[in-house]
Amino acid sequence: MIDTGNTGFVLLCAAFVFFMTPGLSLFYGGLVRRKNVVNTMMSSVFLIGVSIVLWVLFGYSLSFSGNIGGIIGNLDWFGMNGVGMEPGPYADSIPNLAFACFQMMFAIITPALITGATAGRMKFKAQFIFMILWSFIVYYPMAHMVWGQDGFLGTGFLHSVDFAGGNVVHISSGVSALVLCIILGKREGYEKQSYRTHNIPMVAFGAAVLLFGWFGFNAGSALAADGLAAHAFMTTAASCAAAIVTWMLMDVIISGKPTLIGAATGMVAGLVAITPGAGFVPVWSAVIIGALVSPLCYVMISFAKKKFGYDDALDAFGCHGIGGMWGGIATGLFGLSSINSVAEWDGLVFGDWHLFAAQVLSIVITIAVAIVGTLICVAITRLFTPLRVSQREERVGLDISEHNETAYPSFNGLD
């Protein structure tokens, strides 16, 4: 039975989530050097085109129609065939199409997150091919395994929980980003030249758009305009807020002054961390989850990245990979089946280890899928094109070399 309130709410949330991708393009675009801003924003914008086309034709069906071995769906819903105005198997009060719309927006932003690690050196052609392959090899199977009917990580076998996409969205994209940036190699002059953020207000505004969209991302994942949606809304706000404060605190402790980029990064990290648990953990624990994610990500970005020497340009792994893993673990610590009965057990702090173990296992499996999937995608992409631009193209900047556009034609120079 269609509920108009629920349908309206989910469609509106879908539009919120859609808005996150342009927001991400501002966030990433501001962070790069001026000569790469067009390419960096384009890396998100082209996915609005490609991912929606793929989703309508194959993606929704492969992710959510039927079940093949708990790994992937079938092609019964190819081209949205049979997906109509009546409720589908996933939510009984909204049209199947509304659920398909909502999920579609996740399929856009997830590959877009990866582009933060590859900024400033990956060929656009290679990125285009890679992202199409990645959608099929990593994203659709992940979405099915976690959220699909009898998915392997969800109801089918492991019974781990992921409210709004900690595994599906953040760990998968973060880990793939790490693998890809290691394969690509460092940007030229990495750690010798200054890679200064070219537009900090753009970063702050992009983060604000992400935050706004994230309320739809998490609250909408209740798939109904109900108490659980309100609960997810509040945990989202609490975690994000705590993470802003603790990132500022880390800034002050380590370098003496709080920074706007730091506050914006903390905001995003806090949102990532609460994503898997937004509809499972009590509100008070969201403050703890958010407060701890910033120090974790800060240490990864400031120290571990330097020590291991990989060039995760805009910290896609540092924020989304690490933040997502902490969020998944935290869900195993603080989850309560009385809040949402999808979780079959309570978390570790309430004395039951089952959920915690399932969460950790699901994270390990997600990491494995992302690593193997990315390696396969890279191998296939290399059949068509090198991954990286030439040295001269990198120095001139990808805006000119890949798109023949200049973001700020009145200025020229070295940054």
Partner 1 sequence: MIKIEAIVREDRFEDVKQALQDINVHGITVYQVMGCGTQKGYTEYVRGQKVDITMLPKIKFEIVVSTDAWAEKTMDAIQKAAYTGMPGDGKIFAYKLDNAMRIRTRETGPEAIQPRD
Which residues contact partner 1 by CB under 8 A?
A: 189, 193, 392, 395-396, 400, 404-406, 412-414
* Minimum gap (Å) between residue 401 Cβ and partner 1: 10
Closer to partner 1 by Cβ: residue 82 or 189: 189
Closer to partner 1 by Cβ: residue 194 or 341: 194
Closer to partner 1 by Cβ: residue 74 or 406: 406
Closer to partner 1 by Cβ: residue 306 or 395: 395
The 3-state secondary structure of the chain, one letter per residue: CCCHHHHHHHHHHHHHHHHHHHHHHHHHHHHCCHHHHHHHHHHHHHHHHHHHHHHHHHHHHHHHCCCECCCECCCCCHHHCCCCCCECCCCCCCEHHHHHHHHHHHHHHHHHHHHHHHCCCECHHHHHHHHHHHHHHHHHHHHHHHHCCCCCCCCCCCCCCCCCCHHHHHHHHHHHHHHHHHHHCCCCCCCCCCCCCCCHHHHHHHHHHHHHHHHHHHHHHHCCCCHHHHHHHHHHHHHHHHHHHHHHHHHHHHHCCCCHHHHHHHHHHHHHHHCCCCCCCCHHHHHHHHHHHHHHHHHHHHHHHHHHCCCCCCCHHHHHHHHHHHHHHHHHHHCCCCCCCCCCCCCHHHCCCHHHHHHHHHHHHHHHHHHHHHHHHHHHHHHHCCCECCHHHHHHCHHHHHHCCCCCCCCCCCC
Closer to partner 1 by Cβ: residue 36 or 51: 36
* Minimum gap (Å) between residue 127 Cβ and partner 1: 20
Closer to partner 1 by Cβ: residue 338 or 404: 404
* Minimum gap (Å) between residue 412 Cβ and partner 1: 3
What are the two backbone dihedrals, phi and then psi, of residue 72, each rounded to the nearest 5 degrees? -155, 160
What are the two backbone dihedrals, phi and then psi, of residue 252, each rounded to the nearest 5 degrees? -65, -40
Closer to partner 1 by Cβ: residue 76 or 405: 405
Closer to partner 1 by Cβ: residue 274 or 398: 398
The residues, ordered by sequence, that sit 6+ positions from 407 with a Cβ below 8 Å of its Cβ are: 34, 37, 38, 399
* Minimum gap (Å) between residue 410 Cβ and partner 1: 10
Closer to partner 1 by Cβ: residue 257 or 392: 392
Query: How far is the first Cα of the chain from the last one, in angstroms, to the nearest whole number?
Result: 57
* Minimum gap (Å) between residue 415 Cβ and partner 1: 9
Nearest to 319 by CA among 253, 256, 286, 273: 273
Residues linked to residue 87 through DSSP beta bridges, in sequence order: 95
* Minimum gap (Å) between residue 30 Cβ and partner 1: 21
Closer to partner 1 by Cβ: residue 194 or 338: 194
* Minimum gap (Å) between residue 404 Cβ and partner 1: 5
Reading the block at residue 105, the tokens are 């927006």
Closer to partner 1 by Cβ: residue 1 or 411: 411
